[in-house]
Structure 1
Amino acid sequence: MNIQWFPGHMAKTRRLIAENLKLVDVIIELLDARIPFSSRNPEINSLIKNKPRLVAFNKSDLADERISRQWIKWYADQGIDCILINSINGKGLNEIKAKARELMFEKIERNRAKGKLFTPVRTMVVGIPNVGKSSFINKIVGKATAVTGDRPGVTRGKQWIRISSEMELLDTPGILWPKFEDQEVGMNLAFTGAIKDDIMDTGEVAMALLYRLSKTYNNELCTRFKLEPESINGMEPLELLETVGRKRGCIISKGEIDYSRISAIVLDEFRGGKIGRITLEKPGDRAETMTE
């Protein structure tokens, strides 16, 4: 399946980011902790250039903690602060505020020397659709300021939001890129819901996800769907989907599998963390390209 999705408003977002960079001090880049490589727009580096940056792994509660720690070390080795956050319960958001001011220390001190005692940190949050930007903003502000939704593409315009007396934030819509050179990246985005389900064959996506999990998180997969690990060894994607469908009773007339229903169940349960805390990418897989 060839996955491509680049709505017109995303080209506008790219221009919006470039045009407003001069207004901000620190970039907050939100990534999905489950797919740190695939959820990173390769155009962001060229867009933000040398602006100070914080990387925030959102949805960290859904990701494999062991692998998340590996990513934190990987970013530290690149000289970039990486913080695990949860935009639903607020985990890590105070650390974001403190780190942003830390990155601005020299500018704040220069202004104080000139007699300007108060320097608010102006930040911009960037990230792909459905990475949780609106929920992040609402939580860090403390009230429902930004429009939120569980579908990609909800935020469409530019908004300045006052976080506190010490910080302001420029929100931008989520941005993907015109073409996925690596279809595995496109599939990872489909797994996590960054690409709208209604433009894809969800059956193919669910089969690919089950096959991937059977190789990397076999115990979690078998526990969730009450499978015997030995019984699914060597199964092809379609056979896996059918086996899981029978276990969940997704049967229609004449004993046939309801592929649409079981595909939706598989994707919903993965995205909701019900299968387990899963990370689909590790540092070193393809991470060397992330700072180019």
Structure 2
Amino acid sequence: MVIQWYPGHMNSARKKAAEAMAAIDVVIEVVDARLPEASTNPLIRELRLQRQRPCLKVLNKADLADPVVTGAWIAHYNRQDGVHALALSCRKAGEVARLPALCQALAPHRNDNTKPLRMIIMGIPNVGKSTLMNVLLRRKLARVGDEPALTRAQQTTQIDIRHSLTDTPGLLWPRIEYPNDGLMLAASNAVGRNAVIDEEVASFLAGLLLSRYPARLAGRYGLSAEAIAGGDAATVIEQLARRRGLLLRGGAVDLEKAARVLLQDYREGLLGRISLETPETRRAMLAGASAADRAAVPDDDSRGHGECCPTVSA
């Protein structure tokens, strides 16, 4: 399944974000700590680099992610020019309260009452931008909820005399290039329900969990050793359905309900602290995609001879 989701309001949001970038000092880019690179919008990087703005990269929902993997991602991002990365949970006010000082360190020239620090929060839908803003402001200003694209308008608020903060709508990019990115985003509830098929997303998630966190699946759903050892996503979802009594008339398993249970348990952290990608798996995926691209290009011997060069699936 190829997942693409780019509602019309996002094009307008992108234009307004580009305009706002001219009048801000630091970009606070919020990503999902469970899938930091898949949830990084390349358009945001493009916009901030055009204006040469530093970035505070916030790996939010760190309480749901594998801490060892998160540490590897922090080191990865902190090696990038103009980027300072940290992991936090926006549910913890003390962690969020550190952000203005960290942004100040990235723009030391904006540090008095006549030149207040201007920050902007950006990121894809449902990574916690609005919750982060509400915690920073210590009041409920931005609308939040467990569904993507609730924020539709850009708004700027003064935190105090020396700091202002602009919240922006969740912004995806027009074409998700890698299918696994789309599936990770869908599993993490970052795309609209109308763009996904829950059973296919759950099958992807079950396969990934089998390969990296099999004990979590077995512990949560009481799965048999055969289901775990066999490494079959369909068997996992079927056994989950039977264990939970998710049956249709006649005794057939309700795969749709079972898929929703798996996805919701992952989203709520009931399977434990899980990361869907690591720097190593990301590099492997990109290398595989590059190999497929190269295989799709004819070499010198086949050009002009009417031969079809084979493609390799990544």
129, 133, 152: which one pairs with 2:148? Answer: 152
85, 95, 99: which one pairs with 1:96? Answer: 99
In structure 2, the residue matched to 1:280 is 276
- State the secondary structure of the residue aligned to 1:101: helix
In structure 2, the residue matched to 1:67 is 69
Distance 1:118 1:173, change over 3 A: same
In structure 2, the residue matched to 1:34 is 34
106, 111, 135: which one pairs with 2:109? Answer: 106
1:50-106, Cα deviation, whole Å (9 max, x unpaired): 201100011111000111111111112224211112112225212211111111213
184, 187, 202: which one pairs with 2:183? Answer: 187
165, 168, 174: which one pairs with 2:164? Answer: 168
The answer as to whether partners of 1:218 and 1:229 remain within 8 angstroms in 2 is no
Provide the rounded CA distance (Å) in 2 between the counterparts of 1:285 and 1:13.
31
Provide the rounded CA distance (Å) in 2 between the counterparts of 1:285 and 1:203.
24
Displacement, 1:236?
2.8
Provide the rounded CA distance (Å) in 1 between the counterparts of 2:128 and 2:242.
33
Distance 1:235 1:68, change over 3 A: closer
Which runs of 5 or more residues in structure 1 are unaligned?
109-115
- State the secondary structure of the residue aligned to 1:129: coil
Provide the rounded CA distance (Å) in 1 between the counterparts of 2:272 and 2:57.
24
- State the secondary structure of the residue aligned to 1:31: strand
The answer as to whether partners of 2:223 and 2:236 remain within 8 angstroms in 1 is no
AA matched with 1:136: L
In structure 2, the residue matched to 1:12 is 12
Provide the rounded CA distance (Å) in 2 between the counterparts of 1:117 and 1:252.
65
Provide the rounded CA distance (Å) in 2 between the counterparts of 1:170 and 1:277.
31
AA matched with 1:48: R
Report sequence identity in percent: 35
In structure 1, the residue matched to 2:192 is 196
Is residue 121 from structure 1 mapped to residue 121 from structure 2 by the alignment? no
In structure 2, the residue matched to 1:78 is 80
Higher relative contact order (CA 8 A, sep 6+): 1
Provide the rounded CA distance (Å) in 2 between the counterparts of 1:216 and 1:123.
37
AA matched with 1:67: V
TM-score (norm 2): 0.85
The answer as to whether partners of 1:141 and 1:164 remain within 8 angstroms in 2 is no
In structure 1, the residue matched to 2:207 is 211
Provide the rounded CA distance (Å) in 2 between the counterparts of 1:92 and 1:287.
30
* RMSD between superposed Cα atoms in Å: 1.7
- State the secondary structure of the residue aligned to 1:280: coil
AA matched with 1:53: C
How many positions carry a matched residue from both structures?
A: 282
Is residue 52 from structure 1 mapped to residue 54 from structure 2 by the alignment? yes
1:30-65, Cα deviation, whole Å (9 max, x unpaired): 000000011001121211112011000111110001
1:176-203, Cα deviation, whole Å (9 max, x unpaired): 0111110000000001000122332111
Provide the rounded CA distance (Å) in 1 between the counterparts of 2:38 and 2:263.
17
Distance 1:102 1:130, change over 3 A: same
The answer as to whether partners of 2:227 and 2:235 remain within 8 angstroms in 1 is no
Provide the rounded CA distance (Å) in 1 between the counterparts of 2:282 and 2:223.
32
